[in-house]
Amino acid sequence: MTFRHCVAVDLGASSGRVMLARYDSEHRTLTLREIHRFVNCLQKTDGFDTWDIDSLENDIRLGLKKVCDEGIRIDSIGIDTWGVDYVLIDNVGQRVGLPVSYRDSRTTGIMAQAMAQPGKGEIYRRSGIQFLPFNTLYQLRALVEQQPELLPQVAHALLIPDYFSFRLTGEMNWEYTNATTTQLVNINTDDWDDTLLAWTGADKAWFGRPTHPGNVIGHWICPQKNQIPVVAVASHDTASAVIASPLADKNSAYLSSGTWSLMGFESRTPYTNDAALAANITNEGGAEGRYRVLKNIMGLWLLQRVLKERQISDLPTLISQTQALPACQFLINPNDDRFINPDDMSAEIQAACRESGQPVPLQNAELARCIFDSLALLYADILQELAQLRGAAFSQLHIVGGGCQNTLLNQLCADACGIRVMSGPIEASTLGNIGIQLMTLDELNNVDDFRQVVRANYELTTFIPNPESEIARYQAQFQSLRQTKELCA
């Protein structure tokens, strides 16, 4: 009997964890155990919203040490994180400047510059990536414009997971799935786009050619002096989550639900036509040449901020109270830029409702109901948009990630979308990270093989749409009104 022990370092925008996987190759059983969990949050440094990179590295090393201290021989390590952010380093590997977060306001107005030159169509033709004001494309332009004194010191720019791999191994890598989130990778060449990089003012020499998941970057020397391979997994956390989504067939869509919600489908070819551009569809890189055709949704970030601001610790009770309220009393657009990083999320939601002539959610449960209903209705709109883009309806939606534990939101999603929803696995990013490691170790053949392992080892919960629910009736009325307007236009 052969066991493999792989460690996944999975960093989200609000928390991080070091997870140990044990894989029995004979019985194809896969178990996960949490070794170390820690908080990841923004901090103000010299006026910027930044990440505490040193603290995160210390927690990663502590988690790895805990595994080794148990006497477990680790077969490999992989790191996945959120996208678009980067760390600058000099020619001796020391950090330059601050690890600024994508939620920082320094990119305000930068995307508007890009619309003038190179132009929206040209950027999309080259990258196939959606327009979000915090994409690395705009972050680098902001850096060059606002902190030119740093530029002579910079030798390399490493995306967050690549930076931590560098810190463990001393070797640099630019992993493809995460690189595509930057809006700087050419969709036809899978390499950095000269025109887009030139527009930022950053030096192309800062970047090495992106590498696809499944190669060994280098080795970490553990306290016991063993050399442990560090694998370039699908290092964008959503790319890893999609790998672990047990999609049944080409008519299955996915929703990776967490701080961000990302809804999409897999495709062997990208969608970069005028309809995709108009809908702001993104074609992020995935494993095995699969594109993640998707849209970003602000997600549970809104709820996380409300919980923090109002010091709410009992989420199950809040959800129970929320469920008792009528649906669709308070509705917002969760993707409005005003919700990216407001000073007071609760007040911002209330202001949005007030400005649109709606009742104002005052109580905790009312704010939560506003967030859940608004997300579910946005999910329905985007699922329909994606179906129209591909010319075929979806048969089911797989919700994965930490947000899939919210059974109320899962049911609201099923009702609003009018589609069967399957929830789980919860630790999808971690599992997808592990999946690539096992493929690199020649324990699994490919992504489809790994998804069979996921289906066999992790229980999924089904949510059947109820067309008589309040939110389903609201969505049906809204759709009917929209169709009438389109016919009369």
* Residue (of 16, 48, 49) closest to 35 by Cα position: 16
Q: Say which CATH superfamily domain 247-424+459-489 falls into.
A: ATPase, nucleotide binding domain (3.30.420.40)
Confirm whether residue 286 is marked as ligand binding. Answer: no
DSSP-assigned states of every residue in 42-65: EEEETTEEEE-HHHHHHHHHHHHH
* Other C-beta atoms lying within 10 Å of the C-beta of residue 227: 11
153 three-class SS: helix
Which residue in this structure is represented by tokens 């320094």? 106
Confirm whether residue 402 is marked as ligand binding. Answer: yes
pLDDT per position as a tens digit, 245-279:
999 899 999 999 999 999 999 999 999 999 999 99
Q: How confident is the model at residue 485 (pLDDT cuts 50, 70, 90)?
A: very low
- Average pLDDT on 51-78 reads 98
Q: 345: buried, middle or exposed (CB in 10 Å: 19+, 13-18, 0-12)?
A: buried
Confirm whether residue 128 is marked as ligand binding. Answer: no
Amino acid (one-letter) located at 344:
D
Q: What are phi and psi of 295, to 5 degrees?
A: -130, 145
pLDDT in the model for residue 486: 52
- Average pLDDT on 60-79 reads 98
pLDDT in the model for residue 435: 99
pLDDT at 83 over 50: yes
Distance CA 30, CA 76 (A): 15
Measuring CA to CA, how many Å separate 209 from each of 136, 172, 179, 186, 303?
Answer: 16, 11, 10, 11, 38
Distance CA 105, CA 45 (A): 13
- Average pLDDT on 161-189 reads 99
Confirm whether residue 245 is marked as ligand binding. Answer: no
Question: Per the structure block, which two tokens stand in for 73?
Answer: 């021989």
- pLDDT averaged over every residue in the chain: 97
Distance CA 25, CA 157 (A): 38
What CATH number was assigned to the domain covering residues 3-232?
A: 3.30.420.40
pLDDT per position as a tens digit, 219-237:
999 999 999 999 999 999 9
Q: Is the dihedral of CA 465, 290, 426, 331 positive or negative?
A: negative
- Average pLDDT on 363-390 reads 98
Write the DSSP symbol of residue 183: T
pLDDT per position as a tens digit, 434-443:
999 999 999 9
Active site residue 237: yes
pLDDT in the model for residue 487: 45
Write down how long the chain is: 489
The model scores a pTM over 0.85: yes
* Residue (of 277, 299, 254, 276) closest to 82 by Cα position: 299
pLDDT in the model for residue 480: 65
What percent of the chain stands above pLDDT 90? 96
Confirm whether residue 15 is marked as ligand binding. Answer: yes
Confirm whether residue 105 is marked as ligand binding. Answer: no
pLDDT per position as a tens digit, 294-352:
999 999 999 999 999 999 999 999 999 999 999 999 999 999 999 999 999 999 999 99
Distance CA 233, CA 435 (A): 8
Q: How confident is the model at residue 479 (pLDDT cuts 50, 70, 90)?
A: confident
Q: Which of 10, 162, 193, 237 is catalytic?
A: 237
What percent of the chain stands above pLDDT 70? 98
Distance CA 313, CA 40 (A): 17
Residues 6+ apart with CB under 8 A from 380: 413, 416, 417, 418, 475
Confirm whether residue 236 is marked as ligand binding. Answer: yes
Confirm whether residue 14 is marked as ligand binding. Answer: yes
Distance CA 292, CA 265 (A): 6
Q: How much is the CA Rg of the chain, to the nearest whole Å?
A: 22
Confirm whether residue 259 is marked as ligand binding. Answer: yes
pLDDT in the model for residue 481: 61
Measuring CA to CA, how many Å separate 22 from each of 29, 30, 63, 430?
Answer: 8, 6, 16, 13
Confirm whether residue 211 is marked as ligand binding. Answer: no
pLDDT in the model for residue 478: 79
pLDDT per position as a tens digit, 18-50:
999 999 999 999 999 999 999 999 999 999 999
Distance CA 258, CA 131 (A): 20
pLDDT per position as a tens digit, 350-364:
999 999 999 999 999
- Average pLDDT on 199-211 reads 98
Confirm whether residue 304 is marked as ligand binding. Answer: yes
pLDDT at 488 over 80: no
Distance CA 230, CA 240 (A): 16
Confirm whether residue 346 is marked as ligand binding. Answer: no
- Average pLDDT on 125-139 reads 98
Confirm whether residue 83 is marked as ligand binding. Answer: yes
* Other C-beta atoms lying within 10 Å of the C-beta of residue 245: 25
pLDDT in the model for residue 2: 83
Residue spans in the chain of domains classed CATH 3.30.420.40: 3-232, 247-424+459-489
Beta strand pairing call for 227-232 and 76-80: parallel
SS3 content of the chain, % helix, strand, coil (to 5): 45, 20, 35
pLDDT at 422 over 90: yes
pLDDT at 482 over 80: no
